[in-house]
Structure 1
Amino acid sequence: MAARAQVLAPWLAALWWGSLTALGALVVPSLFAHLPSPALAGGMAAKLFTAQTWLSTGCGLLLLLLHRPDQGNPETGRAQSAMMFMLLGVLLALLSEFAIAPRIVNRENLRLWHSVGSVMFALQWLCAGVTFWKMTRKSG
């Protein structure tokens, strides 16, 4: 991987994982704690989760582009071991946005779809965390 890509990749992974962490652990719980109604908090949370989807997708795709196997970089092993997590994280973000979120917004079996969405968010957080860990650990 080129020198710039080596510097950029950990920052992208940190942004992805950090934004998921902040949204899930701080921002959304704060909305429900401080806004006057759950409906208002839920509507705002939905908008923030949509923004997070695009941030996650952008970070994940840029990381995948930076770690294309044909670049012949010396860190190929580490990058390729993280690629599965990058790809799965992006897929989870997009599935959450286009398959799960519409069901939650339409209040279809809300308990089920909210639970599925929460699990998918947690799995995406894990994928981003593993990617971040793999991008920042020392090789050797």
Structure 2
Amino acid sequence: MGWRHRVPVLAAALWWGGLTAIGALAVPLLFATLPSPALAGQAAARLFSAQAWVGLACGLVLLVASRDSTSRMEWAGGALAFVLAGMLLALLGEFAVAPRIVARENLRLWHTVGTALYALQWACALVVLWRVAGSAKRDGHPGESRDLDDQAGR
């Protein structure tokens, strides 16, 4: 598999992995270890914001990759719609929800909305990763081994 087929897989993996690491590991650790929920919330807000920009950058890489006519990914079995949906969710979280949380406007509602948007973005990134990785594996180039079983001659 050439590098042009690997870049979308790496972008999708970074997007989903970042969402997973921040949402399932980093933010819960902040609230468990920092001395106050206010400090943990400030740090979490920065992490969520950084992840939104990482997600948008990864989405742009995926959009550019989808235009590459040599990729043969048909575009990854419908992954393009999930890329766009995930990017929209990141934008909504960053520019519609986060400012309301920072302004402490109806915190329960906006935390719930933010959590739902984040979970939906996570699901979109997972679908993109699954489809892009599957398409990249199926679209191996002639003469290249597709997996370890091929290399072992099985």
Is TM more than 0.5 here? yes
TM-superposed CA distance for 1:5, in Å, is 2.1
* Corresponding position of 2:109: 112
**Matching residue within 82, 85, 91 for 2:82:** 85
Which residues in structure 2 correspond to 1:4-23 (within 5 Å)? 4-23=3-22
CA distance in 1, matches of 2:74, 2:81: 13
Which structure has more helix as a fraction of its residues?
A: 1
Structure 1 or 2, whichever has the larger Rg, is 2
* Corresponding position of 1:121: 118
Q: Which amino acid aligns with 1:106?
A: A
* Corresponding position of 2:37: 38
The alignment of Structure 1 onto Structure 2 pairs a total of residues equal to 137
TM-score (norm 1): 0.92
CA distance in 2, matches of 1:78, 1:135: 5
Change (3 A) 1:16 1:77: closer
CA distance in 2, matches of 1:20, 1:73: 26
Unaligned runs of 5+ in 2: 140-154
CA distance in 2, matches of 1:114, 1:22: 19
Q: Secondary structure at the residue paired with 1:67?
A: helix
TM-score (norm 2): 0.84
* Corresponding position of 2:131: 134
Which residues in structure 2 correspond to 1:20-99 (within 5 Å)? 20-68=19-67, 71=69, 73-78=71-76, 81-99=78-96
Q: Deviations over 1:58-117 (max 9, x none)?
A: 00111011102x7264222425x1000001101100110000000001010100000000
Q: Which amino acid aligns with 1:5?
A: R
Q: Secondary structure at the residue paired with 2:138?
A: coil
Change (3 A) 1:77 1:48: closer
CA distance in 2, matches of 1:139, 1:4: 15
CA distance in 2, matches of 1:127, 1:118: 14
RMSD: 1.7
CA distance in 2, matches of 1:18, 1:57: 14
Percent identity (aligned): 55
